[in-house]
Structure 1
Amino acid sequence: MPRASAKPDLLLTMMNRTASLSDRISNALFVAVMWVVQRLPYETRVPLAGRMVARIAPLIGFTRKIRANLALACPELPPEEVKRLERAVPDSLGRMLAEIYSGEEFVARVRDLPIEGPGAEALERAHRDGRPVVLAAGHFGNYDAWRAALAARGYRVGAIYRPMNNPAFNEQYVTTISAIAQPLFARSRRGLGDMMRFLRDGGMVAFGFDQFFRQGAELNFFGLPARTPLSAAEMALKMKADLIPIYAIRQPDGLSFRILAEAPVAHSDPEAMTQVLNDRLEEQIRAHMEQWLWTHRRWKP
C-alpha cells in the first residue's frame, strides 16, 4: 500500500503550527475567532476572519515563518512584496477557515461554479464510466470549494483527514467538514482500507503532496530540494486512475472562486509524475502568491 501521506488538512496544519506555544491557547484563539465571525453576515464574516488571523499572525509565529520561507524560495522578491505577503497569507487562511465553518452558506456559493480547464472533461468521463480518480490537492486557495462543487454535480468525492488529539475538538471539526461533502476517511489503517475500496468502486479521492514528508522523494520545488510524498502518483498507478491536479483560486473580490482542473498527469513513474505536480502547483502559486500555505516549513534540512 502507498505511504499514508494523503491530503493533509489546512485547518489541522494551522492548529499544529501553533501547538508549540500552547495547545490550549491556540485552540482558544481559534474557537474565539470562529465564535465571533459566525455571528455576522457572510460578506462581513469572511473578510473579518481574514483580518483577525492576519492581526494575530505575528503572535503565533506565522509572520516569521512566511518571511523565512520567502527568503529561501523567492529571494528576488522586493521587501514591499514580502511585507504584503506577511499579511495577505494569513488573511487568506482566515478567510478559508471562516468559509469552511459557514457550512451550507459556503456550499451554496460554490456548488454551481463551472469546472474549467482540460481536466474537467476527464473528470466528467471518469464519473460517467465509474472509474477512479486521484485528485492532486495542494494547500492553495480553498480546497473545499472544489470539493463542494464536484459533490454538487453528483461526483463521489472523498477526503482523508487526520484525527485531532482533542476528542471534543475533533468531533466538532469532523462535523464541520462533513457538511461540505462526504465521505471522509480518517487517516488510520481502517480509514485507508475504506478509502482503497472507495477508489476501486469508482470514487474520487484527494491526496496532498505539498507538505514536507520525511520519507518522501527529494524533488524540486521552487528550485529547491523538497521531500515530497509520492502517494498520489503511487495510488493513481495502482488503481489505473487519472491523476488530476485541481485548484479553487480565490478571485479579487475575496469571496468567490474559479475552479480549475488541469489535464491528467501522464502515467510513468511516481517520481516523475509527482515532479509534474510540483511544477504545476508552483506555477499557480507564482501567479497567486498569497493563496499558498507559506506558514508551513516546506523545506527542511
Structure 2
Amino acid sequence: MATTSKEKKQESGFDPWNAAVSFAMIAVIRLLGILPYRWRVPMMGWTMSRIVGPILGYPKRVRDNLTMIFPDMPEIQKQQMARAVPDQVGRTLAELFSPQDLIATAAKSPMTGEGMAALDAAREEGRPIIIVSGHVGNYDIARAKLIERGHNVGGLYRSMNYRIFNDFYVSRISQVGTPLFLRGRRGMGQMVKFLKQGNTIALLIDQHMSAGAPLKFFGHTAYTALSAAELALRYDALLIPCYGLRNSDGMTFEIVVEAPIPHADPEGMTQALNDSLERQVRAHMEQWLWVHRRWKTLKK
C-alpha cells in the first residue's frame, strides 16, 4: 500500500503547520523579550487581550462560562471580564517566559497564611509535601518562592499541542526549578518516586479530567482528578493549597498558603481543594482562567 504524505510527515516527526505556529509564537515572545520586564509584562497582556485572545475566541469562552456560573451578572461586567482575563493570561505568559525576572519577583513577594507553620514543619521533618494550586494569578511564582525557601520542588506539566513550542516552554520553566514531570504514566511514576523521598510536588487542580470524580466547582459538576488526595493518603504527605495572587499593580504578588487539608477520604479532600480554589477565584475573579472548558460533561 502506498504511503500517504500525511503518514510520511508523521514518520519523519515533522509537521509543517506545527512548526509554523511554533516559530511564530516563539518569534513574538522573543520580540517582546527585547522590552524591559516592567514593559514586557503589560505589553504581553495588551497583545493577548486586544489581538490574540479575540482570534482564539477567548472573549466568547469567558462570557459563556460567566453566564453559566453567574446568570445574573450584568453584561457590562462580562464584557470587562472578557477583556481582563486574556490580559491576565498574557501577563502570566510573559512572566513564565522570563524565568530570571520571575525568580526575582518571587523573591520579593511576601508569603503568608495559616498553613505557613505546617509547611515549614513538614520541610524540617522531611515529610512529603503536595502543594495544590490552580490557574489563578501565577502558580509558578509560588513554586519559585518555595524553592527559594529551601523546598526541593518538582512540578507536573502537560505537553502543549505544538511540539517545538512545547520544547521552548519547558526550557524556560525549567530555569525556575527542576525536576519537571510530563503528565502521563512515566512522568507520574517519576513524580511518585520523587515525592516518596520526602520532597515537594506542585499540582494544579482545575483542569477537566474525564476520568476524575464528579465533584462541585461553583455549584456545577466539574470532573476532578483525585490523585493529589490519593498520594497524600498513600505517602502521609502534607496536602496544602497555595496561590500566587497578583496585586492590583499587575506586576507584584502575594503568596498565600492556606491551612492543610485534613486526611480523610479522597473525594472529600479533593472537594475541599475545589472549595479552596473557588474562594480564591471569587476574591480575584479576573485572575482565573475563565477560558478553561472546566465544566465539560462526559460523552455518552
Structure 1 length-normalised TM:
0.89
Q: Distance in 2 between matches of 1:84 and 1:32?
A: 29
1:130 paired with 2:129, answer no
Counterpart of 1:290 in structure 2: which amino acid? E
Q: Give the equivalent residue in structure 2 for 1:10.
A: none
Q: Give the equivalent residue in structure 1 for 2:12.
A: none
Counterpart of 2:236 in structure 1: which amino acid? K
Counterpart of 1:34 in structure 2: which amino acid? I
Q: Give the equivalent residue in structure 2 for 1:67.
A: 63
1:77 paired with 2:73, answer yes
Question: Any conservation in 1 of the 2:46–2:90 contact (CA below 8 Å)?
Answer: yes
Q: Distance in 2 between matches of 1:281 and 1:119?
A: 15
Q: Distance in 2 between matches of 1:166 and 1:222?
A: 31
1:210 paired with 2:206, answer yes
Aligned to 2:223, which of 218, 224, 227?
227
Aligned ranges for residues 277-292 of structure 1 at < 5 Å? 277-292=273-288
Unaligned runs of 5+ in 1: 1-21
Q: Give the equivalent residue in structure 1 for 2:7.
A: none
Q: Give the equivalent residue in structure 2 for 1:251.
A: 247
Which moves more between the two structures, 109-118 or 138-147?
A: 109-118
Q: Distance in 2 between matches of 1:266 and 1:149?
A: 24
Deviation at 1:36, TM superposition (A): 2.3
Q: Give the equivalent residue in structure 2 for 1:52.
A: 47
Question: Any conservation in 1 of the 2:49–2:83 contact (CA below 8 Å)?
Answer: yes
* Larger-Rg structure: 2
Deviation at 1:100, TM superposition (A): 1.0
Which moves more between the two structures, 103-112 or 123-132?
A: 103-112
Counterpart of 2:233 in structure 1: which amino acid? L
Aligned to 1:170, which of 150, 166, 181?
166
Runs ≥4 in structure 1, deviation > 6 angstroms? none
**Cα pair distance change 1:82/1:184, threshold 3 Å:** same
Deviation at 1:187, TM superposition (A): 2.0
Cα shift readout 1:214-268 (whole Å, capped 9, x = no counterpart): 1111111111111111111111111111110000000000000000010000111
Q: Distance in 1 between matches of 2:108 and 2:252?
A: 12
Question: Any conservation in 1 of the 2:133–2:277 contact (CA below 8 Å)?
Answer: no
Deviation at 1:167, TM superposition (A): 4.1
Q: For the aligned residues, what is the CA RMSD?
A: 1.6
1:107 paired with 2:103, answer yes
Q: Distance in 2 between matches of 1:81 and 1:284?
A: 19
1:31 paired with 2:26, answer yes
Structure 2 length-normalised TM:
0.89
**1:58 partner SS:** helix
Question: Any conservation in 2 of the 1:111–1:150 contact (CA below 8 Å)?
Answer: no
Deviation at 1:78, TM superposition (A): 1.3
Counterpart of 1:159 in structure 2: which amino acid? G
Question: Any conservation in 2 of the 1:37–1:45 contact (CA below 8 Å)?
Answer: yes
Question: Any conservation in 2 of the 1:243–1:264 contact (CA below 8 Å)?
Answer: yes
Aligned to 1:271, which of 267, 288, 294?
267
Aligned to 1:192, which of 183, 188, 191?
188
Q: Give the equivalent residue in structure 1 for 2:197.
A: 201
**1:195 partner SS:** helix
Counterpart of 1:169 in structure 2: which amino acid? F
Identity in percent: 47
Q: Distance in 1 between matches of 2:291 and 2:179?
A: 28
Counterpart of 2:25 in structure 1: which amino acid? F
Question: Any conservation in 2 of the 1:119–1:263 contact (CA below 8 Å)?
Answer: yes
Q: Distance in 1 between matches of 2:191 and 2:24?
A: 33
Q: Distance in 1 between matches of 2:285 and 2:143?
A: 22
Question: Any conservation in 2 of the 1:158–1:204 contact (CA below 8 Å)?
Answer: yes
**Cα pair distance change 1:137/1:273, threshold 3 Å:** same
Deviation at 1:191, TM superposition (A): 2.0
Q: Distance in 2 between matches of 1:90 and 1:248?
A: 18
- Highest RCO, 1 vs 2 (Cα 8 Å, sep ≥ 6): 1
Which moves more between the two structures, 153-162 or 184-193?
A: 184-193
Question: Any conservation in 2 of the 1:207–1:231 contact (CA below 8 Å)?
Answer: no
